[in-house]
Structure 1
Amino acid sequence: MNRKRMGVAISAVMLAALASTAIASPTCTREPESKWMSEAAMQKQIARMGYKDIKVFKKTASGCYEIYGRTSDGRKAEVYFNPVNGTIVESNVD
């Protein structure tokens, strides 16, 4: 591989690594799932917090419950919750 191709290949790998880091979900807990709130209990807590129209509710590989829905005032929200105590770890609201 010539120097130019090597430089392009290295740049591509670095860019891919940065992109994957930027979109990775936060780490919410390292506790085992046996200590997590049940999905039903978490969904009830999310509703009590005012989130509605939940399109996605899932577990992430980094130890979170994640939702895509709307805030109480109707804005789009992507929110990561600590599954042990239900607190918000990260919130992205449009």
Structure 2
Amino acid sequence: MRTIALAAALLAVLPATAAFASPKCTSEPKDKWMSEEAMKAKIAELGYQKIRTFEITGSCYEIYGYTKDDKRAEVYFNPVTGAIVKSEIGD
């Protein structure tokens, strides 16, 4: 009975953790990526500001900051092209 309860608890948690997985941004090796400085400049050109976090997440550059309209943003970028792969914009 404990095994069934444990399995049910794990299955309830799995969908929630899967939602937080970072996207696949590139398969290119890191020596093909833009430098962090170039990516930060690209991010500024796109209008993102007040960047609290800039990090490498999986195969992406990821930021937590604000849009030019002052909305919270979590954005994943392709580190080779600088293109936005996934973004979540809040209030």
Q: TM-score range by the shorter chain?
A: over 0.9
Q: Find the counterpart in structure 1 of residue 48 from structure 2.
A: 51
The equivalent position to 1:35 in structure 2, one of 15, 32, 37, is 32
| 2:17 is aligned with 1:13 | no
Q: Distance in 2 between matches of 1:18 and 1:7?
A: 18
Task: Give the partner amino acid of 2:71.
Answer: R
- When Rg is computed on C-alpha atoms for both structures, the one with the higher figure is 1
RMSD (Å), alpha carbons: 0.9
Task: Give the partner amino acid of 2:89.
Answer: V
Question: Normalising by the residue count of structure 2, what TM-score does the alignment of the two structures yield?
Answer: 0.93
**Percent of pairs with identical residues:** 50
Q: Secondary structure of the residue that 1:10 maps to in structure 2?
A: helix
Aligned length: 90
| 2:40 is aligned with 1:68 | no
Question: Normalising by the residue count of structure 1, what TM-score does the alignment of the two structures yield?
Answer: 0.91
Q: Find the counterpart in structure 1 of residue 73 from structure 2.
A: 77
Q: Distance in 2 between matches of 1:30 and 1:81?
A: 13
Return 5+ residue gaps in structure 2 as ranges. Answer: none
Q: Distance in 2 between matches of 1:59 and 1:79?
A: 12
Q: Distance in 2 between matches of 1:22 and 1:15?
A: 13
Q: Secondary structure of the residue that 1:85 maps to in structure 2?
A: coil
Task: Give the partner amino acid of 1:34.
Answer: D
Q: Distance in 2 between matches of 1:8 and 1:29?
A: 39
| 2:42 is aligned with 1:24 | no
